[in-house]
Each structure stands twice: as structure tokens, then as C-alpha cells.
């Protein structure tokens, strides 16, 4: 029988999927091949492991690495930067896509929902990794950032996992569960909009959506002053995590729809139709509650959730029914990245910080990153292209490691 074995390097578990012995059924192979990713330990037997989910996750984390590691922040193509405040760029789609996939993966891992301790442990591991990256390498307690990307993923995973479990019907009615999860997502989205638009900010006024003047920023300063991304606010703050949970629940609904759909083609149609509707509502809501990634506004939830659904449908067309050929070949690198998404994110953060703090010329204050960029990239391309090539080289180095792990079926689980 094909199995997954957990190996540990220090305190970090590495999962390896062993090769199948002769005589193992194809359905058993599909079930056993579902090694866990950022927070999901297994895959549901019914739909099997969909390649499109790994591919979209891989595309998303690859984009994270590219946008987080330019050679020179003063020379970056506009689509690779976040919107200054209201509005969106392709970069603003990355984080909600990842949360959407986290929610989708929860529904494909029913066994992982049975243990409250398991859910909390996975959330704590992801949150702890986020704290470690935020403090690395100096770990200054007075200014250690508490919110962050991994912290938000942890909260959203835990909340969505418990909601998914709580909405499940004893009779196994997946349709009813999907409606309940969707209703909770809608309620969270509306509730957040009401808070942000109608509730007066202490010392300010209702409806202030400026970086420091909004209700979420006031709450973050009250709870975590000195431990935020900026002095007055944080894009991954406490209150804006509420609509981020709604984004994750949209992924849950997409996963439940997969279980109900008679065919993959029908599921893709549902994703596309729902995606168009959500984008349309998000754009209409944008007029009164602007699309804003830092505030994770309700219009942003719908707009990006709809875009994620359509992107998943397109990835499914690309990969799920391609047993061989160029589609399989081109998508394989993203599978390697997607199945070790957490490892990729953590290594990227560690390497980026180390490159920025290791000094190669103390007199001139030249860091290792600056030296590499100025020596190997800046002389050979325009500033903007050199900055992009540096980020791409960063991803290429990490991909080489993850491809090696993927060939050996080693995956890091939270």
C-alpha cells in the first residue's frame, strides 16, 4: 500500500510519499499521492488530488516570491507593486488567491477536521513561523511585529476549518453545508462593511477609510501599538482578518461545489459563473466601499474571490484533464512549488532578510544583496529589468531546491 512517511529535520516534519508497490489500485494511489501542503494533511477520496489546485497554489507562491524580492525597490514594474491605497494591481490578487486555496483544501481534507487539537496545532505552527520571520534576525521584543501574512493565514485557516466542521450536516448533505458556509461568508462581509462605514472611530468619525484613521487601525493601535508594520496601522490587522476569513470560506464553498458537481466541466462552469457574479458585485460595491487590499474591504473580498474562482477554472482546463504532453510539462514546475508552498514562503523570507543584513563592506555599508545586485544584474539590463531579473533568480534558486524535493516526494507539512 502506498504510504506517506513523516521525517523530521530538527523540529520540522518533512513528509515523503513512497513509491507504490505493484498491485496497488489506482484509486489508492490517487488518495495516497495527496501529500499535505500549508495546512491540509490529506485529500478527500472522492475527487482525488486535482492538479489544478497545486498549480494555482504554485503560481500564487511564485508570484509572492517575485513581488517580495525585487533587486531594487525603486525600480519595479507597476503591476508588481501593491496599489498605493484604493484600487488594485495584479499583486493585490496574490494573498486572497492563497487564502481561497487554503479554504478549498480544507474541504478536501475531511480527516484533518476531526481533531480540534490538530486544527489548533497547525494554526499555531503557521502563526509561530510568522512570528519567527517577523523577528528574524534580531528579535527585538519592543518592536516585534505581531500581525503578518502567516499570522493571517493561521487565523483564517483555524476559523474556516471550525466553520467547515460546524456547518457539516449529519446526513452528509454537502449542498446544505455549502449554503451555510456561503451565508457565513456573506454575513462576515456585510458585518465588516457596517463596522468600517457606520461605526464612529474613537477620536474620529464614522466612515474614515484612511490608513491611520479607520476603525481597524484604531483597534490595532489599541491592542498592539509598537508591534505593527507601520506606526499607526497594519495591513494584516485584527479587524481586517474578519473579511479575510470570508475569502477563505469562498474557497470552502468552491471545494464543496467540487464534491457536488457531476463532472469537472460542470464544476468549472459553476466556478466561472460564480466568479463573474462576484466580480460584478465587487465592482459595484467599489463605488461606496472601495476595493482596497490593505483594508481587505468587502468589495475586495468579492472581486478577488471571483477572480480566484475564474483562475482556478482556467487552471483546471489547463491541467486536470491533460494526462501527458506540453500541458503537463509546463505545469509541473508549479506543482513542485505548490506542494511545498509553506517551505517556499519561509525560505524566501529567511533568504531575503539575510541578504539584507549581511554586510560585505562595512565602510561603504554595502549589504550582500546590494553587492550581488550591483555586480551580477545592474550592469546588464535596465534598472527595472535588472530588478525583475534579480527576483526571478531568487525564485529560480528556490525552485531548484523544491524541484529536487518534489522528485523525491518530500513535502513539508505544518
- Residues 203-223 pLDDT 10s: 999 999 999 999 999 999 999
Q: Look at 321 and 177; give whichever has higher pLDDT.
A: 177
Running DSSP on this structure, what letter comes out for residue 18? Answer: P
Instruction: Examine the pLDDT at 343 and tell me if it is beyond 60.
Output: yes
pLDDT at 109: 85
- Tell me the pTM: 0.88
pLDDT level of residue 362 (50, 70, 90 thresholds)? confident
The whole-number average pLDDT for the span 288-304 is 98
pLDDT at 329: 87
**Structural domains in the chain (count):** 1
Q: Is residue 1 part of a domain?
A: no
Q: Is residue 124 part of a domain?
A: yes
Q: At what angle do helices 326-338 and 383-407 cross, to 10 degrees?
A: 90
pLDDT at 66: 97
Three-state secondary structure call for residue 367:
strand
pLDDT at 110: 86
Distance CA 377, CA 389 (A): 7
Percent of the chain with pLDDT over 70: 88
Q: Is residue 142 part of a domain?
A: yes
pLDDT at 322: 65
Q: Is residue 307 part of a domain?
A: yes
Q: Is residue 7 part of a domain?
A: no
Q: Do residues 97 and 104 touch, judged by C-beta distance below 8 A? A: no
Q: Is residue 280 part of a domain?
A: yes
User: Nearest-CA neighbor of 196 among 100, 296, 270?
Assistant: 296
Residues in the chain, how many?
414
User: Nearest-CA neighbor of 120 among 95, 83, 157?
Assistant: 157
What domain range includes position 105?
35-412
pLDDT digits (tens, 9 = 90+) for 214-266: 999 999 999 999 999 999 999 999 999 999 999 999 999 999 999 999 999 99
Distance CA 359, CA 370 (A): 9
The whole-number average pLDDT for the span 84-113 is 95
Q: Is residue 5 part of a domain?
A: no
Q: Is residue 283 part of a domain?
A: yes
Amino acid at each position: 500500500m502506498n504510504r506517506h512517511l513523516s521525517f523530521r529535520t530538527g523540529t520540522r516534519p518533512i513528509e515523503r510519499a513512497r513509491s507504490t508497490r505493484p498491485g496497488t489500485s489506482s484509486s489508492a494511489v490517487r488518495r495516497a499521492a495527496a501529500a499535505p501542503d500549508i495546512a491540509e494533511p490529506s485529500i478527500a477520496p472522492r475527487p482525488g488530488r486535482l492538479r489544478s489546485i497545486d498549480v494555482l497554489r504554485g503560481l500564487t507562491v511564485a508570484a509572492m516570491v517575485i513581488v517580495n524580492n525585487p533587486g531594487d525597490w525603486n525600480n519595479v514594474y507597476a503591476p508588481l507593486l501593491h496599489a498605493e491605497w484604493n484600487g488594485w494591481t495584479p499583486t493585490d490578487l496574490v494573498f486572497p488567491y492563497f487564502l481561497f486555496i487554503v479554504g478549498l483544501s480544507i474541504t478536501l481534507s475531511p480527516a484533518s477536521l476531526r481533531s480540534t487539537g490538530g486544527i489548533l496545532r497547525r494554526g499555531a505552527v503557521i502563526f509561530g513561523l510568522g512570528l519567527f520571520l517577523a523577528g528574524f534576525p534580531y528579535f527585538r521584543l519592543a518592536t516585534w511585529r505581531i500581525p503578518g501574512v502567516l499570522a493571517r493565514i493561521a487565523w483564517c485557516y483555524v476559523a474556516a476549518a471550525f466553520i467547515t466542521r460546524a456547518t457539516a450536516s449529519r446526513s452528509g448533505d454537502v449542498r446544505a453545508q455549502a449554503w451555510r458556509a456561503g451565508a457565513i461568508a456573506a454575513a462576515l462581509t456585510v458585518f465588516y462593511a457596517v463596522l468600517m462605514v457606520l461605526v464612529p472611530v474613537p477620536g474620529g468619525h464614522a466612515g474614515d477609510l484612511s490608513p491611520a484613521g479607520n476603525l481597524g487601525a484604531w483597534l490595532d493601535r489599541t491592542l498592539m501599538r509598537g508591534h505593527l508594520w507601520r506606526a499607526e496601522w497594519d495591513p494584516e490587522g485584527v479587524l481586517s482578518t474578519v473579511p479575510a476569513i470570508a475569502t477563505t470560506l469562498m474557497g470552502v464553498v468552491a471545494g464543496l461545489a467540487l464534491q457536488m458537481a457531476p463532472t469537472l466541466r460542470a464544476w468549472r462552469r459553476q466556478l466561472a459563473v460564480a466568479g463573474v457574479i462576484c466580480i460584478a458585485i465587487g465592482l459595484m460595491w467599489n463605488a461606496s466601499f472601495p476595493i482596497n487590499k490593505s483594508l481587505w474591504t468587502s468589495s475586495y473580498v468579492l472581486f478577488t474571490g471571483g477572480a480566484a474562482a475564474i483562475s482556478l477554472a482556467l487552471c483546471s482546463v489547463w491541467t486536470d484533464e491533460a494526462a501527458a504532453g506540453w500541458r503537463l510539462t509546463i505545469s509541473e514546475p508549479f506543482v513542485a512549488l505548490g506542494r511545498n508552498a509553506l517551505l517556499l514562503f519561509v525560505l524566501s523570507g529567511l533568504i531575503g532578510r539575510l541578504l539584507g543584513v549581511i554586510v560585505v563592506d562595512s565602510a561603504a555599508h554595502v549589504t550582500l544583496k546590494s553587492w550581488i545586485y550591483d555586480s551580477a544584474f545592474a550592469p546588464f539590463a535596465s534598472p527595472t529589468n535588472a530588478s525583475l531579473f534579480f527576483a526571478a533568480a531568487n525564485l529560480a534558486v528556490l525552485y531548484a531546491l523544491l524541484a529536487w524535493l518534489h522528485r523525491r516526494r518530500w513535502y513539508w507539512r505544518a
